[in-house]
Amino acid sequence: MRRFFAVARVLMALALVVAVAAQLRVSLRFWIDRGDQALAVDVANFFSYFTMQTSLFHAVVFALGAWFLLARRGADPGWLGALRAAATTYTVTTGVVYNALLRGLPQEPGLEQPWADEILHSIVPVCALLDWLLAPGRSPVRWRTVGWIAVYPVLWVVYTMVRGPFVLDEGTGDPWWYPYPFLDPMASAGGYGSVAVWVAVLAVAITAMAAVLVGISRWRTRPADDQHGDDHGDDGGDDGGDDGGDDGGDDGGERSR
């Protein structure tokens, strides 16, 4: 079981990196063909998307999680559980927001990369949730982690709103650029008030998602699933060799706790 989920995490990490790289390659070609003068700004914009940042973060967390599944037995260290909770929160929330609000929006011709979008916004979010629910080794995550998980999205929103008015959108010619339409105060009659409402809604959604995932970790902790199976197999061999001696029985009892 540990090997299965380790392989799955490696595949998910690779899928995320490949999808982001493919989308960047297509975007670079599009910007060059369009005649953009500030490619460095275009690249900065690309990596300013919440999806791109969190996808690369989750790729690293997937890789760490795979290594721990193969390198050790029992529960994950607490810091890894917190990182996995954060990455899963961001990835699942991104998938929900994309499919609820952004999927139907048209893209500029030449920027479409449907398979990469599906990996980033549908396939990996579902797999990440299944990994959180079913993978062995999960340790209970502290409730205060929910607050820490909310810190990064808040910082990202601040960065986005402070940077946006000073970035030229070479596609439209507008002297501002925001990664998502619901964060663009110029795209709504409500201006910054409308943006504030969306930020509040997303903050609640992220916090709720984090709380649910942390609650699941505390309710259905799987501290040593595979260790029990492996150790019992070893104990059976040892106990058989010792003809069911008391020491073997005591050892088995200790490990079962």
At residue 238, the pLDDT reads 45
Q: Which residue type occupies 57?
A: F
Residues of the chain with pLDDT under 50: 222-257
Could you give the angle at the alpha carbon of 123 between the alpha carbons of 117 and 125, nearest 5°?
100
Taking the CB of residue 71, how many other CB atoms lie within 10 A of it? 8
Structural contact between residues 92 and 129, judged by C-beta atoms closer than 8 angstroms: yes
Task: Give pLDDT tens digits for 105-132.
Answer: 888 888 889 999 999 999 999 999 999 9
pLDDT, residue 191, reads 93
